[in-house]
Chain A
Amino acid sequence: MSSLVSERRAGPGRIFGGLALPRLGATLLALILPVALVVLWQISGTNGSIFGGALPTPDRVWEAWLKWAFGASSMGLNPYSGTWLESVVFSTIRVAKGFAIAILIGVPLGICIGWSRMVAKVLDPTIQWLRPVPITAWLPISIAIFGIADFGSIFLITIGAFYPIVINTTHGTRDVERNWIRAALMMGASPFTVLRRVVLPAALPSIFTGLRIGLGIAWTAVIVSEMVAVKSGLGYVLWDAYYVGRMDIVIADMVSIGLLGYLSDWLIVRVEHFVLRWRRLQSFNA
């Protein structure tokens, strides 16, 4: 979480600190690199492609994207036409479901592990031992159990997002100021009340760190699982388009994934800023 604070201190906005438009300045600075890359990519292509026809140039990608997003559905000639939103919705709902399950399991479990030495001794070794198994290695088991179905994808997302959430929640719970807990006990709080009213809020900054990392992994997991284990969503389209040689759709798909990941992270940061107002004040005063 210190990263957020340091962002604020040394972030691009500060360079324009004396100016009236620090936000606009930050946006402009952030756009320099992507715009330069797109321009370079465009001018190094000829006849709409680079690398000897292996990849399309940005204008072709843009065209394909427009058709994918807004074109009329026409199953025969262009199966992608007008299906972008549908794919986005499929993938997003899967991420939302898998991520929600990961939170519902990961946060309470992390609090238990961080709170009780006994629970930590029982669960922590298993978690640490399963954690290095990448989500891709879970694919065969997932397909074997759930078949080519929605829940196979959700299962992989849950597994991927679960580890950073549970581990950060554990750390946050362990690091709670001892005197806050003592103060609550002194005021007559039951152990459960201490967990709910002291440990949970005190651990929230760490929990949000876990959520942000977990959400990033959730997007990786949804794409991987859709490429193999289901027949819809951005990951499915990505692999399908590659097979039929539609690299324009592949690239438009990649950009879409990036945008969705960015938007969902932005959403979490907004929620975090709202929930942790008390903490923002703290870092300004410090």
Chain B
Amino acid sequence: MGTVSITGVSKVYGGAQGVRALEHVDVSLAEGEFMALLGPSGCGKSTLLNILAGFEAQTDGVITFDGKSVRKPGPDRGVVFQEAALMPWLTVWQNVIFGPQVQGVAKADYEPRAREIIRVVGLEGFMEALPVQLSGGMRQRVGIARALVMQPKALLMDEPFGALDAQTRLSMQQLLLDVWQTFKTTVLFVTHDIDEAIILADRVCVMAARPGRIIRDIPITLPRPRSINDLLTSEFLGFKGQIMAEMRGAH
């Protein structure tokens, strides 16, 4: 479960003469695979994520999730947004249980799970806080918990750590590595940070802009479980050198 197949997907904004955000993208994700979409801003990586999430419609092509055509958003694809996008009037706890609540899941079913996930992402003691009282990193923990509590088949993460400071970003990357090790969900992770893409993903798809397309698909064979200390290994640096060369070549 959680397989993604994207075939010949194009996206044009603003009519026939408009911006070609994506042009004929073919890519697929296997169950439990962690894929990073890496590219400069404006290369269409977020557009691709939004189409898979069901927020936007493609102009052309076919996109399926577990064999079914994607038409609208749903709890099988948990999205983690760039700025967390929490409801500011709800507490951490209320934000986390929003999904199961609106789906009409029984309290006895989701409450233990929500508590467990809150513990895993390190939010114990903040259940009654409002988002505005939290730091950026803490908010993003809520964003991840809110997605995980729905037991999604895939996580779609749109530059979730892009707005965080370097130190917080490292600890969030470690957190995500641990969380993924536990839940093993399919992940599509959009980023413009080469280090982040390599340390997290099984595969890095490098994108280029104008028109947005995937130019390289690089398997990352660093052993699992990983930690952010792997950023210092020569293997890591080997992948980084390779990807940097690819990205230079694309310009």
A193 vs B98: C-alpha distance when bound (angstroms): 11
A interface footprint on B90-110 (CB within 8 Å = 1, 0 otherwise): 000000001100110000000
Q: Which residues of B contact A185 (CB under 8 A)?
A: 54-55, 72-73
Separation in Å of the A208 CB from the closest CB of chain B? 13
Interface contact A193-B73, CB-CB below 8 Å:
no
Of A44-52, A64-72, A159-167, A277-285, the one with at least 4 CB within 8 A of chain B: A277-285
Interface contact A180-B55, CB-CB below 8 Å:
no
Separation in Å of the A199 CB from the closest CB of chain B? 11
Q: Which of A187, A190, A198, A279 contacts B99 (CB 8 A)?
A: A187
A276 vs B54: C-alpha distance when bound (angstroms): 32
Q: Which residues of A contact B163 (CB under 8 A)?
A: none
Interface contact B85-A188, CB-CB below 8 Å:
no
Interface contact A187-B98, CB-CB below 8 Å:
yes
With A187-B150, A197-B102, A201-B89 as contacts: A282 and B132 at CB distance below 8 Å: yes
Interface contact A186-B73, CB-CB below 8 Å:
yes
B interface footprint on A162-202 (CB within 8 Å = 1, 0 otherwise): 00000000000000010110111111111001000110011
Interface contact A180-B85, CB-CB below 8 Å:
yes
Separation in Å of the B164 CB from the closest CB of chain A? 17
Interface contact B79-A183, CB-CB below 8 Å:
yes
A180 vs B54: C-alpha distance when bound (angstroms): 15
Q: How many residues of A contact B (CB 8 A)?
A: 23
Q: A-side binding surface: helix, strand, loop or mixed? A: helix
Q: Which of A179, A186, A276 contacts B77 (CB 8 A)?
A: A186
A19 vs B53: C-alpha distance when bound (angstroms): 55
Separation in Å of the A271 CB from the closest CB of chain B? 15
Which B115-174 residues have a C-beta within 8 angstroms of A? Answer: 130, 132-133, 146, 150
Question: Does B219 count as interface, using CB distance less than 8 angstroms?
Answer: no
Q: Which residues of A contact B77 (CB under 8 A)?
A: 186
A198 vs B89: C-alpha distance when bound (angstroms): 9
A184 vs B86: C-alpha distance when bound (angstroms): 10
A interface footprint on B72-85 (CB within 8 Å = 1, 0 otherwise): 11110111010101
Q: Which residues of A contact B150 (CB under 8 A)?
A: 187-188
A278 vs B131: C-alpha distance when bound (angstroms): 9
Question: Does B237 count as interface, using CB distance less than 8 angstroms?
Answer: no
| A183, A186, A197, A281 — most chain B CB neighbours (10 Å) | A186
Q: Which residues of A contact B79 (CB under 8 A)?
A: 182-183, 186
Q: Which of B55, B88, B132 contacts A182 (CB 8 A)?
A: B55
Q: Which residues of A contact B73 (CB under 8 A)?
A: 182, 185-186
With A180-B87, A278-B89 as contacts: A189 and B130 at CB distance below 8 Å: no
Shortest Cβ distance from A275 into B: residue: B89
A188 vs B76: C-alpha distance when bound (angstroms): 9
Separation in Å of the B169 CB from the closest CB of chain A? 20
Interface contact A184-B75, CB-CB below 8 Å:
no
Give 8 closest A-B pairs by Cβ, nearest first.
A187-B99, A179-B85, A188-B75, A189-B102, A185-B73, A188-B103, A278-B89, A186-B73
